[in-house]
Structure 1
Amino acid sequence: MAFKIVVQSEDFDMGSEVEKIRTLSPSIGGIVSFCGLCRSEGGRLSALEIEHYPGMAEKRIKQIVDDAASRWSLNGVTVIHRYGTIKVGEQIVLVVTASPHRREAFDAANFIMDFLKTEAPFWKKEHLVDGTPQNWVEAKDADLHTQEKWQKIRPQK
């Protein structure tokens, strides 16, 4: 399996990344891509400030990708996560999975994204439109519950 893991401040080209993974193998039958954007949270948010633990973030993402590869038949995975100040509407994270079958590509992409949200060492601070100081964003209970669901599911390869 080929994989690409990048943590960067620069934006990325989603179409280019999907095209790169598409050409990895003639046995690819499905590609799933997910691009997470900075949302406005009902107009109150102007940006997110994202910090990470350099070196450890990449290492943990690789462990998540390796876990996904042990669960599903994957031809390739790309994970790009940005850090720095991300304005509303800008891209934050890209997950692309390629597999011989669509279901495996979908499940692996969901799995990787769910674990990125709860396990990768990234921290988010909200910047509000009105300038009110904000705290760092905490993990949501729903994200933790989803992570627990994956612990119970181990598909047959």
Structure 2
Amino acid sequence: MAGEQLKPVATGLLLLNFCMYIIVAAIGGWALNKAINHGFVIGPDLVLPAHFAPIYFPMGNAATGFFVVFALIASVVGGASAIAGFQHIRTWDADSLPSAASIAIVAWTLTLLAMGLACKEMEKHIRNARLKTMEAFLIILSATQLFYIFAIHGASTIRRRI
């Protein structure tokens, strides 16, 4: 069957995406932990600074807080997408396709949002090596997640024609 030819492609992309989403979640978790540890305590006699931002990260620029938060959300949804994708690849039938495809599309759109914030962070220039790694992974994930969606949809389209 022609749809079976796309199964190894979808499997490879799914494994690649899953590993990359885990790495993005780990780096994002590190950044969030560092931001929490280096935040300041607001006591009864302490006033807020003039330009206080509730999403403040000491290791980047003004876009880092939003970038890390949305990257974490995208990586968690991407991990859920991988779990649904593993189930779909295991069964490889039309019954499991809608759930795998819908969560994959949601993960892709959130990844695109995080990638847009990564581009904004790159424009601001001040960032460390870990944030650069997370930016690169999200840019790559925005493409590989789209190719994964095409692979699972292409297989179902081929199957319907036959």
Task: Give TM-score scaled by structure 1 length.
Answer: 0.30
The structure in which a higher percent of residues are strand is: 1
| Structure with greater Cα Rg | 2
The structure in which a higher percent of residues are helix is: 2
Task: Give TM-score scaled by structure 2 length.
Answer: 0.30
Higher relative contact order (CA 8 A, sep 6+): 2
